[in-house]
A and B are shown apart, each in its own frame.
Chain A
Amino acid sequence: MAGHAMSGGAPDPYSAHSSGMAHGNMTMVGRVDHDRNGFDPISMLTDWDTGRTEILPDGRTLRTFEVEAIDMEIEIAPGVFFPAWTFNGRVPGPALRAKEGERLRIIFRNLGSHPHSMHFHGIHSARMDGIQGAGLIDPGEEFVYEFDAKPFGCHLYHCHALPLKRHMHKGMYGLFVVDPDPARHPEHASIAASRVLGSPENAEWQELAMVMNGFDTNFDGANEVYAVNTVGQAYMNEPIRIDKSRPVRIYLMNATEFDPINSFHLHGNFFDYYDTGTQLTPTLRTVDVIMQCQAQRGILEFSFADHEDGLYMFHAHQAEFTELGWMGFFDVQEAGA
């Protein structure tokens, strides 16, 4: 074809065998400085915030989290800086994890420059809802949210200050996972136990926290960068190590603003999906694409036990999101390889 001839030994953009990673030239240039950001997408996958616990007089566990709203500039793609509003200096905010039936106390301080709140998706009283008059606080103020951890499942919290779109897409969201109490679910006790962080049944699982998000860097109401856990192409540049002998469980949440839905597609494998994580039996069995609307979330379970070693891609199946940063690799290997 005219104009498509190789010129002067330069790399041929039309070749299917271009050098580099599997994405060829379709890549951001450079690397994000995770140290400067103060959070690393790889460690964020397994960095659960379990707060601190004490036993109440009635024998229940009281779990206390401390969260601060902080203004912070973060690097969301190599060399591209975004003026974020964060929970605890990271986007997404800390992945809070509790157990069904516990009493939760979240001490929230607003160190930012605008009013903020924490609105939990869960069952709680109107007073604790994180909207105007119920825990929406000015800069410098503090509020303590208190409620029971229920229902079990994969949930989220986000700032509910207005305008909502701006507060959300500036980075104020995070996972809120409530593990099922096996004692309350005798019919699926072992399944429930496998979801309780720190239990022996849970130990064999490789659990990953993933928040699909996007950033509108020029504030025109459309995202320039898409990612899972904020940094575009992070898991492309640094694939997620998977021990193939252990099953994988992903707590996945969609915090993307402006685009009505986002999706997750796994290469070379299928998974079971527990929408919102509030059941112990899958909502969808043996699928390889699921979609989530804004604030929808769920649990994905799959195994690479019978697979060859190798790089298995995962990404949004909206190709636009994929090509603007939302894609990554699982680096599947034998244990200890």
Chain B
Amino acid sequence: MKLHLPPRVSPKQFQSAMTAFAGVVGKPWVMDTDADRDAYADTYAPGSTEEWPASAAVAPASVDEVRAIVRLANEHKVPLWPVARGKNLGYGTAAPRMEGTVVMDLGRMNKVLELDHKLAYCVVEPGVGFFDLYDQIQREKAPLWLSVPGNAWGSVLGNALEHGIGYTSYGLHARNLCGVEAVLPDGDLLRTGMGAMNNNPAFHLFPMSYGPTWDLAFSQSNLGIVTKAGVWLQPAPETSLEIIWDIPNAEDIGWVIDTITPLKISGLIDQNVFIPSWLGKMVLKGQRHDFWDKPSAIPEWRVEELLKQYKLGYWQVALRLYGEEPVVKARAEVVKAAMKRNLAAAPQEIWWRQGDPIGQYEVTMGVPSAVPLQMSDWVGGRGAHMGFSPVVPATGTHVLDQMRRSRKIIADFDVDFYASFTIGGRFANNVNMLMYDRDNAAEVAKMRKLFDALIVETAKAGYAEYRTHLGWMDPVMETFDFNNHALRRFDEKVKSALDPNGVIAPGKQGVWPANYANMRGSAYKGGQ
């Protein structure tokens, strides 16, 4: 990719910034060739990667190097886009929101600094991936389980900071963060919570600061660069029971939600309950053209045939309970009785006890996996995906309303409907997965228009997204409209005060520092 300079930065100014960065990290860790820029482009870009082009990448190896780079970025007026491992697939990968921003790749900071077997937490740097942490836990034989996202190739901290979700009792990953160390936009270094005191052993144990609590102010944020944080882990349970129901019809999701949510809120179920539609199973069975050889959406009659042929329900609830065996048994009886009120068929039950092997695809037991990459293979070619991810109240009424709306919009665009709902408590995260071949320009254009329509129509109904791709950060922020966008006005007041040069992640989540305010919406082509 050719060089795109940051706004108002001359080639000479840019070159002197690169030289200055190299003085901190060493020349090989300043990556500014055309090939380097391609390496940091969005792998699943819906359109040209040059819509979100990085000018270069810089890879510090320590907190001191991060601080030095941030100070130099201020001096040279060159903005930075920090990424942990840069594997935010479906949301922009490592690419920056504003053209010419320099990716700060924290992948070299990849130490597991602490792994506390008793208090069940770890302290990690941003470059630690889920596989790395998993391996460390196995090496130490620590009695601890991870909570992993669908694709565990990425960073533990990066995923938590982006509000990623997993499928265990610790599935709200941002909630597991406790005690953050962050480099501020002026290069200063902050520790939150009890870590604000030198050598306080409760740094990663008590989740609040004395006074305002800032930990999550660094999530989906451009207020600082997180250089380490505590992450709470689940103690490995004595036993676990997986109970699997195939739910026959699309509309059944209403009673399923109304059955499970009260049990989740009461604490009887402590897992994040993931309910994917049938296509989630099909992507593992082959490629799309094996089952439907036309570009049009798979029609209802064919869906019914496939469900019958592969013995799938429209949805699957694979619920997992954790704990001592008598407790799990008792909980299971309550859950099964509740489900039986609407579904006579007995569920499948799979017990696991300490000492039993754990399957390599058990994401509900915290086993990291890269299986979702296989989704790319479903459409063939350079397969890619984007997730449209609104949050709705966890009641049957709201969930059905949301499902019917997005299902109709997606059908109107003649695209396959692949949805999941994850019950995280009083809310459900709905992810509508849109899969496309990056080299099919017409398909990409259609997906972009579809994405626009989903945002607009869903906002009209009163729901918002929890996370989105670079290209839609501004439009989604626009949907948060209370009191003339008071949230964005506040975010930007804080941003501009802390970061007058706008050096950290300008435009992240639609929050622009004053000096780049004119860049808002500039990468958004309104579905073109």
Partners in one complex: no
Binding site for B on A (CB under 8 A): none
